[in-house]
Amino acid sequence: MDARGFGMSVRRDFVEGVVELMTVAATRLPVDAHEALRRAMENERNELARKQLEAMLRNAELAKGLVRPICQDTGMVYFFARAGRNFPLLVELDGALREATREATRRIPLRPNAVDPVRERNSGDNTGSHMPWVDLEVVDGDGLTLTVLFKGGGSEYPSVARVLPPIQGINGVKKFVVESMFNAGAMPCPPVVVGVGIAGGVDVAAKLAKKSLLRPIGVRHPEPEVARLEEEILGLVNRLEIGPHGFGGPTTALDVKVEYGHRHPASLAVAFTTNCWVVRRGTAEFKADGSHRIVSRHMGE
């Protein structure tokens, strides 16, 4: 096989691998999310809330068995790539991920959710301007670690970012997050995973908030001070008792994730976002020859 043929083969294998990753993420809950929902159900004393959690777990089992999306809103597609500078598809990565998204939309299937906001036209295949979104980090090596996140409209709608007066400090951040969750109510389909970003600008804070959702439930930030902040905000959010689908009870959030960047002395930007109970994410590692393995753990493994 000549070099061109080898390149085409690598791209085909890569696209197929991404479609497989997207299929797993769309149809099978991560193990950490499944276990968190099961624990919440076991601890739930509110009968209506417990029935919601039972229905969620049953829904996840059916989706796994039928290999069908866990939710009818299959969300917007976000890719987070950590690519070696010698990965052979680095220059073609955006195009290859678009191709995989089109294939996944047709084959899984995914609901077409990419709408041109100016012309109000749906592209029909989940691709368009900046969609799928690709967050790329280039490192040494020739491999690629790829995470896909499906973000539903209900969980994205209450997302908000604001610049606080720095004098408010971390107490201001906590107040902002709790108020944001209160205002969100049942819209993001709780129990949710709350993502919090803190930085000097709202764009950076929003990006960090979304990336924080990639960390598994129960895995704390490596810095003890931030880990304690996550636990404190989790307790505050659950005291709201919005509960599963708004039916009350102690489980409004399954977890809270915080990521931060250094800020300007005159600005304290904070962003709030959520993942609904359908925590659709998955990670795969790709080699230079296009072969791959899925490294995230999902139901049925």
- Element counts in the chain: helices (H) and strands (E): 8, 11
Summarize the confidence of residues 194-198 as an average pLDDT.
Answer: 98
Give pLDDT, residue 301.
78
Distances (CA, A) of 18 to 134, 230, 262: 13, 32, 34
What pLDDT is stored for residue 1 in this prediction?
A: 42
What is the CATH topology of the domain spanning 3-28+70-152+280-294? 60s Ribosomal Protein L30; Chain: A; (3.30.1330)
Burial status of residue 74 (CB atoms within 10 A of its CB: 0-12, 13-18, 19 or more): buried
Residues 6+ apart with CB under 8 A from 65: none
- CA separation for the pair 291, 197 (Å, rounded): 34
The pLDDT value recorded for residue 93 is 97
CA 125 to chain centre: 20
The pLDDT score that the predictor gives to residue 3 is 46
- The identity of residue 293, as a single letter, is R
pLDDT in tens, 133-179: 999 999 999 999 999 999 999 999 999 999 999 999 999 999 999 99
Tens digits of per-residue pLDDT, 58-76? 999 999 999 999 999 999 9
CA angle at 203 for the pair 274 and 101, rounded to the nearest 5°: 60
pLDDT for 4 beyond 80: no
**Beta-carbon-side half-sphere exposure of residue 153 (alpha carbons within 13 Å):** 8
- Strand residue runs (E) in 76-174: 76-84, 115-116, 121-122, 133-139, 144-151, 160-164
Which of 21, 60, 67 lies closest to 37, judged by CA?
60
Asked whether residue 7 carries a pLDDT value surpassing 80, the answer given is: no
The answer to whether the pTM exceeds 0.85 is yes
pLDDT digits (tens, 9 = 90+) for 235-290: 999 999 999 999 999 999 999 999 999 999 999 999 999 999 999 999 999 999 98
pLDDT tens digit sequence for 228-247 = 999 999 999 999 999 999 99
Domain locations in the chain? Answer: 3-28+70-152+280-294, 155-275
H-run or E-run covering 44? none
